[in-house]
Amino acid sequence: METRVLTYHKINNPAQFERHLDIAKRYNCLITVDDGDRSFYEHAFPLLRRYQVRCVLFIITGLIDSDKPFWWDEVLYYLGPEVGANMLRKIKLVPNKDREEFLTRLRTESHLPPLRQKQLTTQQLYEMQEAGIIIGNHSHTHPLFANCTEEEVAVELEESRKFFARTGLSGFEIFAYPNGSNDLKSETLLKNAGIQSAYLFDHKLNRRNKDYMRISRLSVNDYTSVPKLLFILSGLHSMILPIRKKLLHG
């Protein structure tokens, strides 16, 4: 039997998200939401509590209780949407050290005031966990693990472990790869750190005998139409998408 896991990021269209939840409950889907944007608490959490749909919220532990922004939002903020989007595609391919150096230059050389984003608080996480939301691990600073050294991955896991231990939240061992970026090196390090399940960002259905360190997820957002959501849940969209991309790019 195929397991359907949906993944979202920001939730700013609660009316459409509610339609999704009605469908997800009928399909017995697992909802996952990456990054921990405040819109989850404001818009998604009340609906999830009402519909009683299973959900994992994967948080970036280094941002909790802060006003530090998501680093990809900084790129768009400092460079503008078009140039920023192009740059994001490029820096997702470079070693993590180069990405960090680029971000440091971007922040120090820009004439714009520093970007600030109010993040989730520990108290809000307690409230959501008490209501049945699983608070999962999405690393400490959200680097792309396949671009990291073993030492960098180890630091990310150790810092996120400290956060979960300090707060008493229980989902350290449930992990979502930042940007879906994984390789054998990071999988091994995750296992050694005690991670029991890890989620990809690959827009696929899971089969019965799935690898628990490579759990597939179907990518949607809160503006996905109901017909398209049903098409995605059928599995046909996952089959057609690679063919379409191949035709578009020759």
| Model pTM score | 0.94
Indicate if the pLDDT at residue 248 is higher than 60: no
Which residues are CB-contacts of 50 (< 8 A; sequence separation ≥ 6)?
none
* Sheet containing strand 55-59, strands side by side: 197-199, 174-176, 134-137, 55-59, 30-35, 5-8, 218-219
The per-residue pLDDT for 210 is: 75
Judged against a pLDDT cut of 60, whether residue 1 lies above it is answered with no
Helix (H, G, I), strand (E, B) or coil at 61: helix
Q: How far apart are CA 3 and CA 6, in angstroms?
A: 10
Q: Hey, what domains does the chain have and what are their CATH numbers?
A: 5-68+117-248 (3.20.20.370)
Cα end-to-end distance, the chain, whole Å: 34
Between 235 and 7, residue with greater pLDDT? 7
